[in-house]
């Protein structure tokens, strides 16, 4: 039997990420007890019905009381207010973390509300599906995926970082560490800008009235099908991501626009060599992702149904 990493873990927000954390924690025997809280009564009721968390609480204060680890699994824009609401109930010495895909804005919003006797160790698991809600989670979500730990400042306790690392590794994740600003730039390249482009392409298809809705659905090739999967992601989460990682996302979109103009010019002027060289380079990046074990060559556009 694996010795628990934490006696009590509190999950604040009970969507895909938190529910998958719960099932992964239970699979690995990583916590003695997991409490949970969601602002919506309907979400709390659903969580209780499906056995999500050992104890679902009706207030954030009850959920975090006595917890050794508190993980904020709410949209980035809500983290500051939740931190303020729970601050007075936090256990001395507790570790506070999160799962937000933006880190600088989260640190700036959360850290001022936390008492001095707790450890703030933000993190970001690079895993997800287009599904959301408490019923969407499954224990395998983090297997062989990366979780980036982003200590809030240079004085962050190494012991707190090590314990959080042990939890994520116990849930099946690979763990890396970086500073907040570098994280936000990396994610603007690998996640945020691609999501915005996917939303835009699906929007273009919707606006292009010469192509009917039935044709878009019936003849969706692989590329557009993947765009629609990405564009089905939670709108509240992605609104907050773009508003809170504005500078890095705009920088990458500026670079994207420059590349797009170059490709437009190559197509217009019939520059096949430029197109071939460009596509050869980008194909090599795809092979690198497969070789790193972060995807397979087999198409899996729906990414499979969530497991319970």
Residue 213 CB burial class (10 angstroms; 0-12, 13-18, ≥19): exposed
Lowest mean pLDDT among 49-58, 187-196, 261-270: 187-196
Distance of CA 220 to the CA centre of its chain: 27
Superfamily the domain 6-178 falls into: NAD(P)-binding Rossmann-like Domain (3.40.50.720)
Name the residue among 68, 42, 48, 72 with its Cα closest to residue 60: 72
> Is the pLDDT reported for residue 81 higher than 70?
yes
Name the residue among 129, 305, 138 with its Cα closest to residue 226: 129
pLDDT digits (tens, 9 = 90+) for 252-308: 888 889 999 999 999 999 999 999 998 888 888 777 777 777 665 554 433 444 443
Name the residue among 233, 206, 238 with its Cα closest to residue 220: 206
Name the residue among 52, 35, 34 with its Cα closest to residue 43: 52
DSSP 149-163: E--SSTT--HHHHHH
pTM: 0.79
Res 159: pLDDT: 97
CATH of segment(s) 182-291: 1.10.3660.10
Split at pLDDT 50, 70, 90, the class of 115 is very high
Res 242: pLDDT: 87
Alpha carbon distance 57, 286 (integer Å): 44
CATH 1.10.3660.10 residue spans of the chain: 182-291
Beta bridge partners of 180: none
Residue 48: CB atoms within 10 Å: 14
| Residue of higher predicted confidence among 282 and 94 | 94
Secondary element (H or E) of residue 47: helix 41-50
pLDDT digits (tens, 9 = 90+) for 8-53: 999 999 999 999 999 999 999 999 999 999 999 999 999 999 999 9
SS3 category, 303: coil
Q: What is the mean pLDDT of residues 201-221?
A: 69
Q: Write phi, then psi, for 89 (nearest 5 degrees).
A: -100, 0
Q: CA distances (Å), 299 to each of 222, 227, 290, 304, in order?
A: 8, 14, 12, 11
> Is the pLDDT reported for residue 124 higher than 90?
yes
CATH 3.40.50.720 residue spans of the chain: 6-178
């Amino acid at each position: 039997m694996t010795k628990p990493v934490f006696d009590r873990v509190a999950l604040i927000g009970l969507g895909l990420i938190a529910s998958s954390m719960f099932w992964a924690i239970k699979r690995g025997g990583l916590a003695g007890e997991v409490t949970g809280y969601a602002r919506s009564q309907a979400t709390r009721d659903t969580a209780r019905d499906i056995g999500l968390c050992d104890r679902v609480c009706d207030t954030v204060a009850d959920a975090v009381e006595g917890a050794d680890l508190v993980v904020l699994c709410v949209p980035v824009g809500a983290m500051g207010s939740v931190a303020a609401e729970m601050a007075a109930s936090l256990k001395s010495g507790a570790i506070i973390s999160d799962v937000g895909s933006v880190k600088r804005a989260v640190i700036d919003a959360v850290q001022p509300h936390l008492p001095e006797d707790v450890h703030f160790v933000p993190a970001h698991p690079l895993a997800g599906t287009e599904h959301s809600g408490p019923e969407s989670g499954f224990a395998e979500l983090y297997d062989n995926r990366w979780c980036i730990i982003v200590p809030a400042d240079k004085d962050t306790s190494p012991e707190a970082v090590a314990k959080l690392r042990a939890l994520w590794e116990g849930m099946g994740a690979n763990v890396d560490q970086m500073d907040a600003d570098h994280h936000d730039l990396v994610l603007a390249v690998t996640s945020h800008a691609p999501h915005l482009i996917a939303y835009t392409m699906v929007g273009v298809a919707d606006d292009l009235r010469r192509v009917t809705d039935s044709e878009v659905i019936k003849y969706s090739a692989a590329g557009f099908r993947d765009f629609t999967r990405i564009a089905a992601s939670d709108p509240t989460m992605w609104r907050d991501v773009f508003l809170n990682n504005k500078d890095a996302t705009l920088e990458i979109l500026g670079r994207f626009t420059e590349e797009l103009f170059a490709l437009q010019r190559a197509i217009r002027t019939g520059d096949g060599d430029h197109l071939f060289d460009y596509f050869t380079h980008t194909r090599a990046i795809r092979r690198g992702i497969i070789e790193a074990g972060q995807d397979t060559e087999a198409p899996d556009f729906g990414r499979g149904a969530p497991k319970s």
